[in-house]
Amino acid sequence: MIALFLAHARGFVRDLPGLVMTLALPALVYLMFSAIFGAGSRGELDLTLAIHDGAQTPASRALADGLVEGAARAELLAGAADAERAVESGRADVGVLIAPGSPLPSIQVLSASGRTVAAQAVRAELDAALSPAEATPSAVTVRAVGPEGDMQAVYYAGAVSVMFVFFAAMHGAMGALDDRRSGLTARLSLAAGSLPPVLGARFAWMTTVGAAQSLVVFAIAWRALPPLEPLSIAAGLLTLILVAAAGSGLALAVVLWCRARDQAQPLSTVVVLLLAALGGSMVPRFLMPELFRDLGWLTPHAWAIEAYQAVLWRGEIDGVVQGAWLVLAGTAAAGFMIALAAERRRRLG
């Protein structure tokens, strides 16, 4: 038994990729996750503020300057409508309108649906700054802007569907490894004359499955969505298909770069979890530190979630949406090309 135990240990130590994935990756994931999610739970929200100082008094200017200094990102806007628009579009997490008042300026915190936590955090900070005594009534009010409805449900429909599309894509891509091992890929690529039709068919199928998965999630979330124009529905469907295509491309690239399932399974799990965490599939990105918010833009998840929010919640097809389409289509195409190169490299020596 000891000999067998030692044989297992020897095999474990000699499998360097396996060793790294078993011991180093969990630690890395832990560090990443604690950094990503830790800030929110400690109450340190890195928020983007849109501020309009309508009072223009020394006190209001001091307050606005204080907000700018204290926030991770803040924008001083000339008009109240501009601030409201920034919050509605998602460009700012929270808006702050400072109006004349006596003796203190009157302050309104603008909150879009789904940003209640952020708005309440800003309100609490303003209360603390303006009314140090606990008994003093709050001079700060909170006003909701943008469409009415269950924005959280819409947010998580996008966030969860993206995450599971990528999970399912990784699972689907594993089949390509089995086909490589059994010789089925070789057989089919000979019948077709080349590899692209064989890999392309798998890519198309995985995209179809991913799109169907997302459709099911959005069908269930349908009642939570605001009334949608046909153009918004079409844009939503396009986003959904591009998300599935991006998942398929990325999954094939990651999995086919591996030699076998024992390499691909842990690697793909880590990739999916990290992308989901950074991209806002697990918690909204505004709860993350600024560094991870910025890193989030490197993931298809963040773009997809922003695009869903814009198209399905606000009914807009703006620059963010078009950017998301480009990023998702680019991820799909690049992933597919990398997968092709990886498969050729494995097959042709």
Partner 1 sequence: MKAGADILGRRDAAVESERGGRPALVLTGVRAGYGGLPVLDGLDLTIGQGEVYALLGPNGSGKSTAARVACGLLNVNAGLVEVGEREVVLDHRARRCIGLAPQETALFPALTVRETLTTVARLAGLRGRAVGEAVERALEITAAAPRADHRVASLSGGWRRRANLAAALVGDPDLIVLDEPTEGVDAETRGQLARAVRSAVAGGAGCLMISHDAAFVEATADRVGVMARGRLAAEGAPQALLDQTFGEARLLTVRLAQPAEAALARALEACGLEPRDGGRHWRRLAADAANQAAGLSALVDEAGGEVAVRRPGLDDLVARIVEESA
**Which residues inside 318-347 make contact with partner 1, applying CB under 8 A?**
347
Whole-Å CA distances, 156 to 109, 165, 177? 24, 13, 32
CB of 212 to partner 1, least distance (A): 18
**Which residues inside 151-190 make contact with partner 1, applying CB under 8 A?**
179, 181-184, 186-190
**Which residues inside 192-251 make contact with partner 1, applying CB under 8 A?**
192-194, 197-198
**Which residues inside 24-83 make contact with partner 1, applying CB under 8 A?**
none
CB of 33 to partner 1, least distance (A): 37
**In terms of CB distance, is 178 or 294 closer to partner 1?**
178
Place of tokens 């169907």: 212
Is the separation of the CB atoms in 252 and 202 below 8 Å? yes
**In terms of CB distance, is 38 or 197 closer to partner 1?**
197
Strands 140-145 and 94-99: unpaired
**In terms of CB distance, is 193 or 227 closer to partner 1?**
193
**In terms of CB distance, is 91 or 347 closer to partner 1?**
347
**In terms of CB distance, is 66 or 197 closer to partner 1?**
197
Whole-Å CA distances, 12 to 21, 255, 335? 11, 21, 31
Tell me the site size for partner 1, rule CB under 8 A: 19
CB of 190 to partner 1, least distance (A): 5
Centre a 10 Å sphere on the Cβ of residue 216 and count the other Cβ atoms it contains.
12
Question: Cβ contacts of residue 254 below 8 Å, gap of 6+?
Answer: 170, 173, 264, 267, 268, 271
> 111: phi > 0 → left, psi -120 to 50 → alpha, else beta; which?
beta
Centre a 10 Å sphere on the Cβ of residue 236 and count the other Cβ atoms it contains.
23
**In terms of CB distance, is 101 or 175 closer to partner 1?**
175
CB of 171 to partner 1, least distance (A): 15
- How far apart CA 275 and CA 23 sit, in angstroms, is 20
Site string for partner 1, 288-307 (x = CB under 8 A): --------------------
Binding residues (CB under 8 A) for partner 1: these are: 179, 181-184, 186-194, 197-198, 347-349
